[in-house]
Amino acid sequence: MTSARDDILGRLRQRRPRDDAMRDATGEEIRRAIAHPERGPRPADAEDLVARFVERARAMTSSTDVCPDTGQVPARCAAWLRAMRLPLAVVVAPALADLDWRGAALSVRIGAAGRDDAVGVTPCFRAIAETGTLMLCSGPATPAVNSLLPQTHIAIVRSEHIVADMEAAWQAARAELTAWPRAVNFVSGPSRTADIEQTIVLGAHGPYRVHVLVVGT
């Protein structure tokens, strides 16, 4: 008597390509689909991507700020934390270690977030104007936990890294990433759930608040 597992694996084997020619054809079809993805409807007129992203991010319950240059980032973060009456101790991704965080009177630790860290700061690989979504790629310089573990996540988004849609974000990843990260996370506002009595609860599986600082406009 065959087990359910053997039955399932047998069915899968029957559906696999049976020779090299079929495998090559399937592989070529996959590569062609990746290289030339189908695109959904696009707006008729060119949009201001920064304005659109900010609008959509706010609609997803993220707060936003805009500053003209990278040097102002620590001071803007500190000002927002003070205005929100949040801790001034932050854990910063190594990719942002060269900014003058201590000059902004912040208590800073460079590295990956731990369970006692209240505020995590990360860069952003791309931001998607269509949905107000952050695209975060994990790596030694950009630990994924900094955007997931602390109650507050501050994301630093360069204006030139705001793209129109998901397809453009993946196109940039294929063009720029020399090695694929272990994780690509898409963040659309604070973590939330409505599993219990259809009541929205923020911070259920991640940050309670997300603040996006757009740099370079």
Q: In the prediction, which pLDDT does 208 show?
A: 84
From CA 15, how far away is CA 12, in angstroms rounded?
5
pLDDT band for position 189 (50/70/90)? confident
- The SS3 of residue 65 is strand
Please check whether residues 109 and 185 belong to one and the same domain: yes
Binning pLDDT at 50, 70 and 90, where does residue 11 land? confident
Q: Based on the domain organization, do 72 and 175 belong to the same domain?
A: yes
Q: Model's pTM, two decimal places?
A: 0.79
Q: Which of 192, 171, 184 has the alpha carbon at shortest distance from 60? A: 192
pLDDT digits (tens, 9 = 90+) for 132-145: 999 999 999 999 99
Calculate the average pLDDT of the chain.
86
Both 209 and 116 in one domain: the answer is yes
User: 203 by DSSP, 3-state: which?
Assistant: coil
Question: The domain containing residue 167 runs over which residues?
Answer: 49-215
What gap in Å lies between CA 128 and CA 188, rounded to an integer?
10
Lookup: tokens for 114: 């731990």
**Per residue in 48-64, is it b (16+ CB within 10 Å) or e — as a string?**
ebbebbbebbeebebbb
Regarding whether 122 and 25 lie in a shared domain, the answer is no
Co-location of 96 and 203 in the same domain? yes
- Same domain for 157 and 100: yes
Is 17's pLDDT higher than 60?
no
Q: Which two tokens stand for residue 19?
A: 């020779």
Do 84 and 11 fall into the same domain?
A: no
